[in-house]
């Protein structure tokens, strides 16, 4: 027997979620193939039994902790709607700060820009959409991530970005860039947060980086100068307690104008420096 939209939402239980009502609305709108506004405009509209069953199944998966973005298969980032999958980290709003800084510090002219560990392609695609005269390269060592990033590029119709499989700089040869950005893994292997919330379902390879979470950042700081044009910036997202250490690594390697920038929550989330060459 069919039930109205309002009843299904009122009965939805998601005790483990910080945003249970929003989660339920997003999942029901997804099942119905409608925008969320439809739920508020037509709360008495009956939902067919088959659709109600699909909604119930998604609620059960959400109660087990599976991220809403994976259940929907998509996530908004910057001005873009991106496909996501368990092959990649889910793009987060804090990473938009990295995009803002890249747009601010990157060349105003045409430029070659590299996004390392691109995942869904979120950073590279956001920059490509804002700077059509930039040539973007996004790399990731996971073939599933590269395939997904390319799908997102094709859907968005952005011709000034390409994606390739590479373990950081390994497949990039002697190429040099005017700007390098990265949101690398930066969580310590024994961090208790890895067993909590959405991250339990995200790929560990996109999250964990050694005993202190800084192995990949150390590698990028050490090797990036060989791929930067003189005056080019390296911008790295990192954990909210890692800024001072990352600045120290950049300064020791010889980067100039080293500084950190705050995210939406007021935490120092991005650090970077300029390579003088």
pLDDT at 247 > cutoff 90: yes
The CB density around residue 259, as the number of other CB atoms within 10 Å, is 13
> Is 70 part of any known ligand binding site?
no
pLDDT tens, 50-106? 999 999 999 999 999 899 999 999 999 999 999 999 989 999 999 999 999 999 999
Q: What is the mean pLDDT of the chain?
A: 94
CA distances in angstroms from 69 to 77, 89, 100, listed in the order given:
12, 10, 23
pLDDT at residue number 190: 75
118 is in an annotated binding site: yes
Share of the chain above pLDDT 70, in %: 99
pLDDT of 56: 95
- 184 carries a ligand binding annotation: yes
The alpha carbon of residue 189 and the mean position of all alpha carbons in its chain are separated, in whole angstroms, by 20
In this predicted structure, what is the pLDDT of residue 28? 97
Determine contact, residues 269/238, Cβ cutoff 8 Å: yes
Give 29 or 197, the one with higher predicted confidence: 29
The answer to whether 234 touches 228, Cβ cutoff 8 Å, is yes
The mean per-residue pLDDT over the stretch 232-254 comes to 97
**In this structure, what token pair is assigned to residue 214?**
């800084």
Q: Can you say how many angstroms the Cα of residue 108 is from the centroid of all Cα atoms in its chain?
A: 24
Residue 23 assigned as binding residue = no
What's the average model confidence in pLDDT over 167-192?
92
pLDDT value at position 191?
75
Q: How many CB atoms lie within 10 A of CB 175?
A: 12
Q: In the prediction, which pLDDT does 209 show?
A: 79
Side-chain-side CA neighbours of 75 within 13 Å: the count stands at: 21
| 117 labelled binding-site residue | yes
Contact 127, 102 (CB under 8 A): yes
State the Cα angle at 215 between 213 and 218, rounded to 5°. 120
Q: Is 67 annotated as a binding residue?
A: no
Would you say 197 is a known binding-site residue?
Answer: no
Identify the pLDDT of residue 215. 94
The answer to whether residue 172 scores a pLDDT higher than 90 is yes
Q: Where is pLDDT greater, at 86 or 179? A: 179
How far is residue 257 from each of residues 187, 251, 268, measured CA to CA in Å?
26, 9, 16
- Cβ count near 194 (within 10 Å): 16
Half-sphere exposure of residue 269: CA atoms within 13 angstroms, side-chain side: 17
CB 131: neighbour CB atoms within 10 A? 20
CA angle 149, 23, 73 (to 5 degrees): 20
Give the model confidence (pLDDT) of 188-225 as tens digits.
887 777 767 777 877 777 778 788 889 999 999 999 99
The Cβ of residue 124 has, within 10 Å, a number of other Cβ atoms equal to 31
* pLDDT band of 1, cuts 50, 70, 90: low
**pLDDT tens profile 158-170:** 999 999 999 999 9
User: What mean pLDDT comes out for the span 111-130?
Assistant: 98
Distance of CA 205 to the CA centre of its chain: 14
What's the pLDDT band for 16 if we cut at 50, 70, 90? confident
243 pLDDT more than 70:
yes
| Domains, the chain, with CATH or none | 3-64 (1.10.8.10), 78-275 (3.40.50.150)
Both tokens of residue 161?
A: 């970005």
22-44 average pLDDT score: 95
Q: What is the pLDDT of residues 68-77, one digit of tens each?
A: 999 999 999 9
Is 119 among the annotated ligand-binding positions?
yes
Residue 33: predicted pLDDT: 95
């Amino acid at each position: 027997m069919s039930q109205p939209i309002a009843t299904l939402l009122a009965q939805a239980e998601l005790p483990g979620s910080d945003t249970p009502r929003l989660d339920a609305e997003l999942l029901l709108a997804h099942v119905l193939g409608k925008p969320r506004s439809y739920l508020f405009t037509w709360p008495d509209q009956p939902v067919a039994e088959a659709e109600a069953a699909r909604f119930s199944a998604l609620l059960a998966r959400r109660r087990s902790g599976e991220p809403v973005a994976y259940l929907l298969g998509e996530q908004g980032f910057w001005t873009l709607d991106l496909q996501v999958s368990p092959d990649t980290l889910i793009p987060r709003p804090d990473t938009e700060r990295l995009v803002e800084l890249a747009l601010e510090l990157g060349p105003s002219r045409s430029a070659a820009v590299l996004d390392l560990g691109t995942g869904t392609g979120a950073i590279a695609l956001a920059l490509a959409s804002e700077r059509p005269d930039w040539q973007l390269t996004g790399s990731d060592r996971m073939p599933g991530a590269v395939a997904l990033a390319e799908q997102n590029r094709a859907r968005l119709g952005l011709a000034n970005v390409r994606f390739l499989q590479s373990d950081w700089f390994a497949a990039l040869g002697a190429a040099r860039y005017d700007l390098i950005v990265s949101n690398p893994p930066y969580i310590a292997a024994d961090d208790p947060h890895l067993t909590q919330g959405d991250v339990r379902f995200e790929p560990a390879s996109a999250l964990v980086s050694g005993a202190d979470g800084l192995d990949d950042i150390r590698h990028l700081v050490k090797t990036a100068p060989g791929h930067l044009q003189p005056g080019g910036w390296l911008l790295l997202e990192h954990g909210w307690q890692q800024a001072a250490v990352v600045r120290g690594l950049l300064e020791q390697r010889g980067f100039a104008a080293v500084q950190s920038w705050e995210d939406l929550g007021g935490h120092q989330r991005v650090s970077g420096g300029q390579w003088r060459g």
